[in-house]
Structure 1
Amino acid sequence: MTPPLPPLITITEKDQPPAAAAALQGWPLLRLGFRPFYLGAALLACLSVPVWIALFLGHAELKLEISPLLWHAHEMLFGFAAGVIVGFLLTAVKAWTGLPTPRGALLGTLAFVWLAARVAAVVAPYPVYAALDMALLPAVALILLRVLIKAGNKRNIPLISLLVLMATANLVFHLSALGAIDVPPVAALYAGLALIVMVECVMAGRVVPMFTKNVTPGLVINIPRKFELALLAVTALALALWVFAPPGPVTLVACAVAAVLHAVRLWMWHPWVTFKRPILWILHAAYAWLPIGFVLLALAQVGWVSYSLAVHAFGVGVTGGLIIGMVTRTARGHTGRPLQVSRPEVLAYAFVMLAAVLRVLVPAVAPALYTQALAVAAGLWAVAFALYLVVYTPWLMRTRLDGKDG
């Protein structure tokens, strides 16, 4: 792929009028939420998954207050995915409302709390880890709710309710791990994953067709609002039944219907027009794992496959794919760079999708290769986010190319 041409004019901070120069004061890393949280989440993804595989395969030991499996699952959901969601929302709410979101010292404090929780998970007593880990989501939800109310932006308040529900699931997990309540910790993790999937369904429905239309002249994507509402309702029902109800035919049917609706939605987005645009096809490819995940979840109701396959279809395929797609696209846009990805970024996209295939589909069809597929998938995942760090760390540590704030 031919690299994008540099801008004809590079505007520096000294070229700005006084008001703009004042806005550019401070460390660039702390000027907008996506910067510290995208970097932190990518670093966690890059390091923690190989550590988990080494623990799982018996090649390493780590003294943890909870089982390595629970640590891995929790950190992927409430560390990695939640960190990206927080960074995205802190950035998006500013764009949606035109009002400031945390920056400078406040943003640095939020990022420090997130980082401290990740470190505390492996070095601190469990109550310390739990307290740090539970602090971030409620704080961010309150901050963003105040901004949305001040702007009169009611449309996006439901996203804040999802943050509150994620915080609740996280609280249940920690109380369960501490033995304070009689709830299996894995149930709280399933609830956390279900809520993340709902966030992804809402946001993908907004941005993927819009991005696709914007770069495809003449393309028309008109999805009836009733269809969208039905899809979200069935998705929420299927996920709720999975989390709260025992396995059975009702959950099977709900998951099967959700799979069909998501496949239809993806088809209506015309994914075939994106093949020559990696920054777009990664979003469509990641979304394709949603119907796959619901099919696997339906089959798990009758014991034909393990729940782990569905969980990783959602976790690696959908969440990992959408995240690597969005943290590249939004970081490029908010650092003043063209929306044309380079070869390392395309490799990162391909590696995450291949990791999903190896983690989900290979064990499903060739169980004897499970260990090998798991190890290679973890390696591909780690390399994908290492590539992100190599490309984006210098960009996120510097002022935007166009000299604007953010």
Structure 2
Amino acid sequence: MRRPFDLKEHPMANGKTYTGPAILSAGFRPFFLLASGFAALAVAVWLAIWTGFITLSSDFSPVDWHVHEMIFGYGAAVVAGFLFTAVPNWTGRLPTRGMPLAGLALVWLAGRLASAGLLPLGPVAVLGVDQAFLLLVGAMIAREIVAGRNWRNLKVLVPVTLFWVANLAYHVEAMTTGSASSGHRIGIAILIFLIMLIGGRIIPSFTRNWLVKQGGTRLPVPFDRFDGFAILTAVIALAFWVLQIEGPIATILLGFAGFVQLARLTRWRGERTLRSPLLFMLHVAYGFIPVGFLSAALSAAGVVSAAATLHLFGAGAVGAMTVAVMVRATLGHTGRDLVAGPVATGAFVALTLATLLRVIAEVDGVNRDVFVESAGILWVCAFAFVAGKICLAVTSDKPRRKRPSSAAGHGDQGR
């Protein structure tokens, strides 16, 4: 039975029928590279804006531009890279590649330029350019799923469509009110939902395969009704968070969702994966979700800043999980061993420290600027190293070695 959310690159992608550049042979290649490079560049620009060195002519306020680009620039590129790599495995069709993939990447780039005010466009035109990317992603994914008669995976279009609507809402809210406080919460909430759904499948699966290879007997609990309950509880809690509902009920619900997500994480035996940093990263990244919910509960009670929760969810859960998945997928799909190495490990540690420093900045008002700038520098360095590692892999392939069946220990080879 074909596993859902399988990240293995379609075998035919490496056949003789494709003669173009390697970077356009599969969806993860351009979009993971663009996402990681952009994450470094956009935060470097944000630091320059924060410290007063430059200004942008964007129709967004500086803060709204920064948040929008992290969610709907970086986040959308990662989602596209994941989907255009997974869908061929669901449908049995060749992956989107070559000029269509290049064209889609250019649409994404146009959205980034327009949002930064680097194109001579008004707010409505900027909205039109920026929303085109996710609209095209949804349409192209739908075409492949329908052509492959893979009806059960049509449901993936629901979060993609919601993400597209959230981007539209972000622009409209910014144009009409001057700020997009609700829009960024909606975008982050959708990404958190995707991490809970997809992470809840791949993390225990990869962990189980690796532990079996190591001879372990205490294995992760497979996806069951508790996972469904955990996701449902979290979705309700996220609705309270998006709507900025405060008070005792919101505090209890958000706190309960946090503890349920923590219980879910402990069922995956992450403490037994310390000897595999690439695998352990996934568990650490998911850990930001329960911590984020607990922070949201304290925020609803008026104890901590709302910005702390935003960064735990955004920089922590979304940033760390996407890095862990991008590095893992890139290594596996380009014929490399699933070993993090010092570059990826160091980048992940830097990213984790950046998130913690950014949260501390919301607690320590006296040294806030120092913590914000330190967090930004660590973030830029982390993603610069990730982008370099991905670039070396996606622009060429190592010859694929025939692996024994047990070599699928991490779960994304040999499927």
TM-score, length-scaled by structure 2: 0.88
* Partner secondary structure for residue 22 of structure 1: coil
Mapped partners of 1:21, 1:198: distance in 2? 35
The 8 Å contact of residues 43 and 66 in structure 2, kept in 1 or not, is answered as yes
Mapped partners of 1:266, 1:387: distance in 2? 28
Match of 1:40 in 2: 34
Match of 1:378 in 2: 376
Q: Indicate whether 1:147 and 2:144 are aligned.
A: yes
Mapped partners of 2:75, 2:14: distance in 1? 33
Mapped partners of 2:66, 2:104: distance in 1? 22
Give 5+ residue unaligned stretches, structure 1. 1-15
Q: Which range moved further: 215-224 or 254-263?
A: 215-224
Match of 1:244 in 2: 243
Give the drift of 1:281: 1.1
Give 5+ residue unaligned stretches, structure 2. 1-10, 403-415
Match of 1:232 in 2: 231
Match of 1:177 in 2: 174
* Partner secondary structure for residue 211 of structure 2: coil
Equivalent residue runs for 1:109-188 within 5 Å: 109-122=103-116, 123-124=118-119, 125=121, 126-179=123-176, 185-188=180-183
Mapped partners of 2:383, 2:253: distance in 1? 34
Mapped partners of 1:245, 1:383: distance in 2? 33
1:359–1:141 distance in 2 versus 1, CA, 3 Å: same
Mapped partners of 1:72, 1:81: distance in 2? 13
Letter in 2 for 1:117: G
The 8 Å contact of residues 159 and 199 in structure 1, kept in 2 or not, is answered as no
The 8 Å contact of residues 204 and 222 in structure 2, kept in 1 or not, is answered as no
Q: Indicate whether 1:49 and 2:43 are aligned.
A: yes
Deviations 1:169-191 (A, max 9, x none): 11111122333xx6952211111
1:98–1:224 distance in 2 versus 1, CA, 3 Å: closer
Letter in 2 for 1:161: V
The 8 Å contact of residues 359 and 377 in structure 1, kept in 2 or not, is answered as yes
Letter in 1 for 2:199: A
Match of 1:82 in 2: 76
Which residue among 91, 97, 106 is the counterpart of 1:103?
97
Percent identity over the alignment is 32
Mapped partners of 2:256, 2:206: distance in 1? 27
Deviations 1:39-71 (A, max 9, x none): 111111111112112212323322222210000
Equivalent residue runs for 1:1-400 within 5 Å: 21-122=15-116, 123-124=118-119, 125=121, 126-179=123-176, 185-217=180-212, 218-223=217-222, 225-244=224-243, 246-360=245-359, 362-400=360-398
Mapped partners of 1:21, 1:272: distance in 2? 40
Letter in 1 for 2:132: A
TM-score, length-scaled by structure 1: 0.90
Letter in 2 for 1:187: S
Give the drift of 1:399: 3.8
Mapped partners of 2:14, 2:321: distance in 1? 33
Number of residues of Structure 1 aligned to a counterpart in Structure 2 = 385
Give the drift of 1:142: 1.9
Give the drift of 1:29: 1.0
Mapped partners of 1:231, 1:372: distance in 2? 37
The 8 Å contact of residues 61 and 178 in structure 2, kept in 1 or not, is answered as no
Query: What is the root-mean-square deviation in Å for CA atoms of aligned residues?
Result: 2.1
* Partner secondary structure for residue 367 of structure 1: coil
* Partner secondary structure for residue 399 of structure 2: coil
Q: Which range moved further: 204-213 or 221-230?
A: 221-230
* Partner secondary structure for residue 352 of structure 1: helix
Give the drift of 1:154: 4.1
Letter in 2 for 1:157: L
